[in-house]
Amino acid sequence: MRDSRIVEATIRVYREADRPVVVRLSLRTWAPAHASMREVMGDEIFKRLYGDDWRRQQQQDVEKVLSDDKSEVRVAEVDGKVVGFVAAVVGADSTMGEISMVAVDPDFQNRGLGTQLTDSATDWLREAGMSLVLVSTGGDVGHAPARRTYEKAGFTPVPVVNYFKAL
């Protein structure tokens, strides 16, 4: 059983040296969500969206965000170890920013770190002049932890339905 005690992390700006651990923990974190999405949408649509190996595409997506000079990326450290990260971006032509990625290592989940990271990104976006923040996640079982995190951080869910059809 995982430790469920709330832990205070040091939230700091991402450094290039953090890249390997951030990529690794993101793939571990998002494995249950991808398994759930595959179950919900079926193999054919899942493969068309994510290819033969979702990990390869997810790694590329994470590395792109980590290299994007428009994104603010922060990491959570516990006892000097990077255990989570968040990425946010200021809206180009509006006052709405977006939290594009949040991940907490599965060994450190349910300890308040996702909320701390989300709050840190929200504070940064507020300081950048944004008056609204968007964060999106799935409605499936695999994304339930993300939904709990965002609701704990004060976000209001707005139902959206996406439909896919393989052609």
Please work out, in degrees rounded to the nearest 5, the angle formed at the alpha carbon of residue 24 by the alpha carbons of 135 and 28. Answer: 65
pLDDT band of 1, cuts 50, 70, 90: very low
pLDDT band of 6, cuts 50, 70, 90: confident
- Residue 4 has a pLDDT of 65
Is pLDDT at 152 greater than 70 in this prediction?
yes
Q: Structure tokens of 32?
A: 């249950």
- Residue 99 has a pLDDT of 97
Q: pTM of the predicted model, to two decimals?
A: 0.90
- Residue 26 has a pLDDT of 96
**3-state secondary structure at position 109:** coil
**Beta bridge partner(s), residue 77:** 10, 82
What average pLDDT does range 85-106 have in this prediction? 93
**3-state secondary structure at position 33:** helix
pLDDT band of 2, cuts 50, 70, 90: low
pLDDT digits (tens, 9 = 90+) for 19-31: 999 999 999 999 9
Helices marked H in 1-108:
19-50, 54-67
Cα–Cα distance list, 75 to 10, 148, 159 (Å):
8, 20, 29
